[in-house]
Amino acid sequence: MEITKSWPKLFNIIIVRLMKHATNFAKTHVYPLIELTIPLILTGLIQSFCYLLINIFLARLGQDIYAAGAIVTWMEATLIVILFGTLGSISVLVAHKHGAKNEMAIAAICRDGLLLSLILGVLLFYFYRHLASLLYLLGQNPAIIQYADQFLKALSWSLLPNFIVIVFLEIAVGMSDSRLVLVLNLVLAVFNTFFSYIFIFGKLGMPALGIAGAGWGIAVAQSVACVMFALYMLTHRRYKKYLKNMMGNATKSFLWEIIKIGLPQGLMYSIEVGFFFAVALCMGAIDTSVLAANQTVMQYLGIFGSISFAIAQAITVRMGFLIGSKAFDDAKKVVYVGMIFAALIASIGAVSYFLKPLFFIFIIFNKKIASDEMIHYAVIFLLLCGVFQILEAVRIALFGSLRALKDTRYSMLTSIICFWCIALPVGYWFAHYTYLGVYGFWLAMSVGAIINIILLSFKLKSKMQLIL
């Protein structure tokens, strides 16, 4: 009888202790990561919706111009993400030095990051001016190449200010100032959308430049934003001490370390984006409707991909700060919290695709312009995309964890193996030699992502064992 009476009391004690433990865990590991992640997610969404709107503008000009915009988007992304990834190592280094309270090193990282952005911006400007000729070698439609050339030449003027803005943003991310990153990207997105709109359609007295107007709009927006951000960083009390002292800083150069950590990261991004570009080329060679459908779906993969990369960046920064502070056990727990968070958000998108596929398609394409064939392809692609983006969310979170440990080469190598050596040839075989047709590319992508998750998990486990 006494034992029976004691059960409710024992049960209450267990519940109270579990709730207390869960609350402490959330305060220590979940809330700090989410606090850092939410502004970064909003930043990624703002950027994605900005380029989504630009693609919607181009879609209103016709299917060929939209297809040309798709080709340029993937061609540019394949090249630019190498440099974005390289400059992205700035936030990793700043996070480590911020955790260690080493202000002199942070100033030196700022200096070398801006120097690298200047070099890259000048070199890429000239390369962009002749990039469209590559499309002839890739067997693309001459009419589409003509439109792509207009877009690329205008876009070349955006490169240098864009790289400088990225350096400023990476410094803010490394300092865990994600709210500033959100505000800066919101301003940039508004500028990009506004100037692209008036240059594409010829509003407010401007000439209607069509697809070239998208490039000029981005170039003007990036230039204005660059000046504004530079003035802010030079006058704000938290950052001006780094920027004003960076030229007289006697601390060692971090230029090589930025490249050593960032270049494999950038190459990994390029390998993956290049893979999507290769898939787009394969689909474009099959049919323009297939390419348009794939590009429509890729807009949404890009949106949720930006969320996944935002979470991965938050994981990197949070882990980097904890590792710099010697809190290794807490750093390990960040990995699991981040992976679960990323998978949950990606799942929301996947369920939405399943419930309302036509809703998402017609956001981008007007019913009067879209062909029935294109709509049919897009619906199936969208459903397959939902599965793939959940796998991508987990995979990218694992990559962010390894990046915090300054290990980016392994991620690059496994991306080559899983996407180029497995997914692309398998997808091509599915598309041309099985009943799966073009849908085989998306199935093969999911297979490649699963294999990559397994490889990254084993590597992360071994790296974490070394520091614990």
Render pLDDT for 123-170 as a digit per residue (tens, 0 to 9): 888 888 877 777 777 666 677 778 777 888 888 888 888 888 888 888
Residue 361, domain extent: 33-467
- Give the CA count within 13 Å in the CB-facing half-sphere of 363: 13
Indicate whether 302 belongs to any domain. Answer: yes
Q: Which amino acid, 105?
A: A
Indicate whether 20 belongs to any domain. Answer: no
Token code pair at residue 100: 């260690």
Residue 248: its pLDDT value, please?
Answer: 62
| From 66-75, 322-331, 386-395, the region with the lowest mean pLDDT | 66-75
Residue 388: its pLDDT value, please?
Answer: 95
Mean pLDDT of 171-200: 82
DSSP string, 243-261: HHHSTT--SPP-HHHHHHH
Token code pair at residue 337: 């919290």
Indicate whether 18 belongs to any domain. Answer: no
Indicate whether 286 belongs to any domain. Answer: yes
Give yes or no for a contact between 309 and 81, defined as CB atoms under 8 angstroms apart. no
Indicate whether 26 belongs to any domain. Answer: no
Indicate whether 242 belongs to any domain. Answer: yes
Residue 146: its pLDDT value, please?
Answer: 80
Q: Which amino acid, 83?
A: L
pTM of the predicted structure, to 2 decimals: 0.70
Residue 387: its pLDDT value, please?
Answer: 95
Separation CA 425–CA 440 (nearest Å): 10
Residue 327: its pLDDT value, please?
Answer: 77
Separation CA 244–CA 395 (nearest Å): 39
Mean pLDDT of 380-399: 94
Mean pLDDT of 255-262: 81
| Mean pLDDT estimate for the chain | 80
Give yes or no for a contact between 113 and 261, defined as CB atoms under 8 angstroms apart. no
Alpha helices in 405-438 (DSSP H): 409-415, 424-433
Separation CA 217–CA 369 (nearest Å): 25
Q: Which residue has the higher pLDDT, 287 or 114?
A: 114
Token code pair at residue 419: 């996407």
Indicate whether 4 belongs to any domain. Answer: no
Mean pLDDT of 241-261: 73
Residue 4: its pLDDT value, please?
Answer: 53
Residue 421 has pLDDT above 60, yes or no: yes
Indicate whether 7 belongs to any domain. Answer: no
Token code pair at residue 59: 């879609």
Residue 1 has pLDDT above 50, yes or no: no
Residue 451: its pLDDT value, please?
Answer: 95
Banded pLDDT at 355 (limits 50, 70, 90): very high
Q: Torsions phi, psi of 204, nearest 5? A: 55, 40
Give yes or no for a contact between 34 and 173, defined as CB atoms under 8 angstroms apart. no
Residue 14: its pLDDT value, please?
Answer: 64
| From 9-23, 101-115, 264-278, the region with the lowest mean pLDDT | 9-23
Banded pLDDT at 27 (limits 50, 70, 90): low
What percentage of residues in the chain have a pLDDT greater than 70? Answer: 84
Q: How many domains does the chain have?
A: 1
